[in-house]
Structure formats: C-alpha cells, structure tokens
Amino acid sequence: MGTKPKPGKRLWSGRFAEPVSKLVKRYTASVGFDRRLASYDIRASIAHARMLHARGILTRRDLKAIERGLSSISREIETGRFRWSLDAEDVHLNIERRLIDIVGDAGKRLHTARSRNDQVATDLRLWLRDAIDEITDFMRQVQRALVDQAEKHAATVMPGFTHLQVAQPVTFGHHLLAYFEMLERDRSRLADCRRRVNRLPLGAAALAGTSFPIDRARVARELEFDGVSENSLDAVSDRDFAIEFCACAALAMVHLSRLSEELILWTSPRFGFVTLPDRFCTGSSIMPQKKNPDVAELARGKTGRVTGDLVALLTLMKGQALAYNKDNQEDKEPLFDAVDTLRDTLAVFADMIAGLVVDTSAMRAAAQQGFATATDLADYLVKKGLAFRDAHEAVARAVRFAEQSGRALEQLPLAELRRFSPKVGSDVYRVLTLEGSVASRSHVGGTAPSRVRTAIKRARATLKRRL
C-alpha cells in the first residue's frame, strides 16, 4: 500500500527544511470556508481518474480503489464524520490526504496530470454553475409572485411618482411589472454568465498544461461543461467568471433594494398602500405600536455588501501577473457571500411579495392628490389643436389657480376651466378622472389595465421558457 503521510506533514513539504509555523498555517488555510466545494472536488476527481484510466495512465485497479475511496469520503462528509484538518490547508488536500489514508498508493496517483491550480478553478466553476441554477429558480419565484399580484391589481389605480412627487396615475399591476422586467434582465444576464462559467479548466495543470496524453474533452463531457478553456495560463488564473457573477448579483440586489425602498415607503402610515405579513416584520423594544419592515430594510443594506463583494474581486485581480497567484485564494469568500446573500434575499422576497395586502382605497386617495391628471388635460388641449407648449402653460396656470382655491382640477366648473383655454369643452371631465387617465395609455408598455393584462400573459409565457 506504500507509505502514508505523517500526521501534520503537508503533501508538498519535501522541498522544505522546516515546517510551516502555526501562525502561517492559520493565516494561509482556506479549509474553514472552501469545504463547501467538497462534493464538487470529489466529482471532478472521479472524472479525472476515469479519464486517466481511459488514456492508459491509471490502472483499473487504481481507478476502482480511487472511486471506492472517494465514495467513502463523500459519505463521511455527508454524515459529519469527516475530520477536517488545518494542517491539510484546504478542501482539496484534506480530501486527498484522507483518500491516501483509505486506499494508499492509488490515492497518491490521483493527482497525476493535474495541479491544485486547475483543480480549484474547476471545482469553483462547478459550484457556481449549480448556484446560478438555484438562484435562477428563486428569481422565477419572485417574478411569479409579482405577476400574481399584478393580475389582482391590473386596474388598481395608484400615483406614479417622479422625484418622489405625484406625477401621473398608473396601475399597481403596471408598477409591479416594472420589477418583473428588471428581474428578467437579471435572469438573462445570469444565463449569459453561466455560459462563460461552464468551461473546463482541468488539464491546464499548474499553468503550462501537462506532458501526459490526457483527454480534456472527455472530462468536459462527464462534468457537463460546454467546452474547455483554450489557454492553460488563462484557465488557471482567470476569475472573470466570478467577477461577472458578482456584477450580475450586485445589479440584481440593486433592483431588490429599489423594491425594498418602495415597500418601506408604502408600509409607512404616511402612504399606507400595503401591509406586510407579520412574519416579515419586527417590533420595537420600547415602542409597542411599531411594526418595522426589517426584511426590506436589511435587503436594502445587504445590497451594499454584495456591491462590496464585486469591488473586492475586481481589486483582487487588478495587479496580478500571469498565471496563478496565492491572492486568488481570496476569491472564494466574496463569491460565496454574493451567492448566499442574493439567494437568501430572493427566497424571502418570493414569500413576502406573495403575502402583500394592498389597500386600494389608500392608493386611490393618494392618486387624487397632487393634480395627477394635469398632463391628461394638456394632452386634451393638444388634441383640440393647441400647441403642446401653449397647452402646458395653460394647464400650469389652471393648477396654480386650483391649488390656491383648495380644489382639484376636476372640481373646477367648466366656466373656470375655460378661463385658461377656450378650447376646453364639456367633455373635459372624462380625461380628468383617474380611470380615464390610465385607460388612455393603451399602447404597448402603457399602464392601461388592458395592456397590463396583456403584459401579464406575456410574462407568464416568458417564465415557462428557459433562457
């Protein structure tokens, strides 16, 4: 079976005359966070061993021993019996050392024609590929919740805002579908990112490839990669895929943060548009009446965290000469954090959006404030033959008059409205209603209830398609 490594002795220690200090062990070890790659490391190792056997580099006996040993290690990890060691530095060496313990010399032969450099890049890509798939599923759940709420409120009128001032009436369904569109772009970006993630680095070895007659395409097929990394130097040193994912994650979190901000405003008594289920809120330690939208606030805060993960990775890579450098050990924690934060935020938002209770009367009352149909009056005058700039001026004077008299535009008698333009007729009141305003925006992308319902059908069809 051959000699086994002595306890505490590193698998690469033959070059050195003294052991690594305990302080350096703690400083350089990554096993505390990279152990989540264990199942991917085992899967990639099995594919590598099978390829080595197929190419005549590894005997069948050694292959069977390696498969048996890795299967045993997988069970130990799953059941919590695996003993992780700081001496073994990272997930890869922990598994390799345990494999040698179980199967002896066969375990030592597994690392033929590979390096930890291409090994870790492969494991990380396998892990991120699955993470993207999981996040995409949660993103769909949030989108479905938005669409379901939009369908209930396709005709519910609320104020649309610019500069956080009442601008024009919109429907709540239309407003929610804006976030559907944002998340759909996020979903598309992730699908595009996944295509670049899904390239196999294994076979690049340390940086220059290997002198063994390996079959990288075979490994790629077994691990379901779309192809192989074409340049060995790039394969081991590239972290574009991690940076690109973090960019996608940061932008998705920005979209969720914008929705969070609106939920925080809408749940305030000053708005009162929606109520969040109690399970997504907390109280105050001193004020018994408080119901705080903590989930939305925390999501808004965590957005800065994911943006920081992106900046950390960009900064990590900016000064590295080719090829692999130890700096790249620092790629995992920001990437893991970005994945965990985005996934968990999407999971909680899917349930929270589905549970929203909408106060339609509060929305309608708010839409009646701030002269939300003033633009409709200007459009009415344009259709009567007035130039838009003249119509804008006439309506602005009418709004000032109505504001001074404490009335809404639709409350002004016809004679008073005609003071601002003789083109105003008795049919003007139809365009000054909230329902008339939203119904008139019946083009593609408009807020009319009929268009919202059409958009909902299109959104549901989109969710059924895979990108």
Beta bridge partner(s), residue 171: 157
* Token pair belonging to 295: 């989930």
| Maximum CA extent, the chain | 104
The enclosing H or E element of 386 equals: none
pTM of the predicted model, to two decimals?
0.91
CB 459 within 8 A of CB 465: no
- CA distances (Å), 104 to each of 58, 81, 107, in order? 14, 20, 6
DSSP secondary structure, 212-279, as one string: S---HHHHHHHTT-SEE-S-HHHHHH--HHHHHHHHHHHHHHHHHHHHHHHHHHHHSTTT--EE--GG
pLDDT band at residue 1 using 50, 70 and 90 as cut-offs: very low
User: pLDDT tens-digit profile of 414-431?
Assistant: 999 999 999 999 999 988
Beta bridge partner(s), residue 199: 227
CB 300 within 8 A of CB 264: yes
* Best CA proximity match to 175, nearest among 199, 195, 206, 146: 146
- In this structure, the strands spanning 165-171 and 157-162 are antiparallel
Residue 152 buriedness (CB in 10 A; 0-12 / 13-18 / 19+): middle
Q: What pLDDT shows up at residue 451?
A: 97
- Locate the DSSP E strands across 63-140: none
User: pLDDT tens-digit profile of 138-182?
Assistant: 999 999 999 999 999 999 999 999 999 999 999 999 999 999 999
CB 70 within 8 A of CB 46: yes
Residue type at 198? N
Q: Is the peptide bond before 323 cis (omega within 30 degrees of 0)?
A: yes
Q: Does residue 265 surpass a pLDDT of 50?
A: yes
* Token pair belonging to 78: 């799953």
Residues belonging to the active site: 163, 284
DSSP secondary structure, 400-432, as one string: HHHHHTT--GGGS-HHHHHTT-TT--TTHHHHT
* Token pair belonging to 210: 């290997």
Question: Greater confidence, 327 or 25?
Answer: 327
User: pLDDT tens-digit profile of 181-230?
Assistant: 999 999 999 999 999 999 999 999 999 999 999 999 999 999 999 999 99
Q: What pLDDT shows up at residue 5?
A: 52
User: pLDDT tens-digit profile of 61-114?
Assistant: 999 999 999 999 999 999 999 999 988 889 999 999 999 999 999 999 999 999
- CA distances (Å), 432 to each of 179, 267, 401, 429, in order? 28, 28, 16, 5
User: pLDDT tens-digit profile of 272-299?
Assistant: 999 999 898 887 778 767 788 899 999 9
Query: What CA–CA distance (Å, rounded) separates 81 from 69?
Result: 15
